[in-house]
Structure 1
Amino acid sequence: MRHLILLAALPLALTACNDSKPAASDPNAPLPTAISAPAGQAWEETIVATPEGGFRMGNPDAKVKLVEFASLTCPHCREFHEAAAATIKNKYVASGNVSYEYRNFVLNGPDFAATVLARCQGPSAFFGLLDAFYADQMGWTEPFGKISKADQEMLGKLPEDQAVARMAELGGLADYVKLRGIPRAKFDQCLSDPAQAKAVNDLRNQAVNEYKLTGTPSFIINGTVQEGVFAWPDLEAKLQTALR
């Protein structure tokens, strides 16, 4: 992960995403009959960590299983999230017919640090933090671009775990997440935990080696990578086809 840490200034992060060419879809197409959640529960509030390393929202036995590999620093991922997240949650996941799993595909050091912090809070907090990181993507990533050359050189000389934590501190991430319920002690704990770092690296390796993904966001429906699908209209059309 060393090469990711040294990309603290972010230019790669903001260009290493898939471009998107929306296709036509019918957002008013009827869904199959909704599947009721267990008494006292709602599918969109049923969130678990998966054995594959992601966080899944929805019915574990849903007919359509949607997986997204994405980066917190990718502008196209942010755009997709803004366009699609509410509809996926409130229409498709809430129906019980679709489950949605998010797996982090980190692109650089700031992405790595933010990803570890979001994941470290567990399933119940993950999607709320995801919303926050995307909503304020430009705000929290901008300070990383101002890290001095001297500090970047210093980061390159530190052990990996120390470099991640120090880079996150230099980029103002400690103060940012403190306002979102992550105190400094938890910040330090998460970024020094080798198990958290390994989980994030494992997801990146899974994306690259198992699924042969080359950019973000990328989508998998029922185990099949959706080639050429990067934007919500394209993906919604695929979901509707899979639900028929």
Structure 2
Amino acid sequence: MSLNRRQLLLRASAGLVATGVVLPVLPAFAQSVDVETLMQPGALPDKVQGDENAPVTVVEYASMTCGHCASFHKGGYPHLKSEYIETGKVRFVFREYPLDPVAAAAFMLARCAPEEKYFDVVDLMFEQQRSWAFTENPYDSLLKFARQIGFTQESFETCLKDQALLDGIYASRDRAKAEFGVRATPTFFFNGEMESGALTVDQLDAAIASQL
């Protein structure tokens, strides 16, 4: 898929994204997935924070254009990071689950940034989500955002032309659907136990406590 074609997809999707339409967020329900299977390598290297020997592994599937995901990363995630990731209780794995081409392009940019900046870029994207995702021209809005974090137009376009990267991001989503039953974002796995929806701090604490 050429950049021109991808740009058309981004522009065509603007009407959907501007309304904030995402996959329905289902009520939380219990579903277990074998942890070893869940942690098998995918098409792209996992993005991980925390001690690999932490007693609880939390896997999040998110979309960069998902309002519920942005809400979690502004509220629950800072608590998760300070109380559990940085204290060695949780290993956090963040996986891409794009709901639309705009989200896929945003994930590509995060992957094209310096590796150590991945989570910083993701955090900033969620913080500024409305400025680049919910616009009439998300391509130009993404370019403006990318320039803020050090991309040039050339490096931006080179990133979005990386077909192998795009395929890997979609492969992550497709595997999550087919193997783990992920149907909405955000979806979390706590040592393999599934919870769907933007968890509150109290819900997050309870889910982790049940695994400690």
> What is the TM-score of this pair, normalised by structure 2?
0.80
- Please give the per-residue CA displacement for 1:64-117, whole angstroms capped at 9, x wherever unaligned: 000000111111111111111211111101111211111011001111111111
User: What CA distance in whole angstroms lies between the structure 2 residues aligned with 1:86 and 1:186?
Assistant: 30
Contact 2:76–2:204 (Cα < 8 Å) also in 1: no
Distance 1:218 1:139, change over 3 A: same
Structure 2 counterpart of 1:138, one-letter code: R
**Retained in 1: the 8 A contact 2:19–2:134?**
no
For residue 186 of structure 2, the aligned residue among 208, 217, 223 is: 217
The residue type equivalent to 1:59 in the other structure is D
Give the alignment partner of residue 80 of structure 2, picking from 73, 76, 88.
Answer: 88
| Amino-acid identity (%) | 27
Deviation, 1:236, is 2.2
Q: Which has the higher contact order (CA 8 A, sep 6+)?
A: 2
Residues 102 and 141 of structure 1: CA distance in aligned 2, closer, same or farther (over 3 Å): same
From the CA coordinates, give the structure whose radius of gyration is larger.
Answer: 1
Aligned partner of 1:204: which letter?
R
Alpha-carbon RMSD across the aligned residues, in angstroms, is 2.5
Letter in 1 for 2:47: F
Q: How does 1:75-224 map to 2 (within 5 A)?
A: 75-143=67-135, 146-147=136-137, 168=139, 171-224=140-193
The answer on 1:14 being equivalent to 2:21 is yes
1:77/1:229 Cα in 2 relative to 1: closer, same or farther (>3 Å)?
closer
Residues 14, 134 of structure 2: 8 Å contact kept? no
Alignment partners' CA distance in 1, 2:182 and 2:100: 16
Partner of 1:51: 41
Deviation of 1:230 after TM superposition, in Å, equals 3.6
SS in 1 for 2:176: helix
1:117 and 1:190 in contact (8 A); partners too? yes
TM-score normalised by structure 1 residue count: 0.70
Q: Which runs of 5+ in 1 are unaligned?
A: 22-49, 148-166
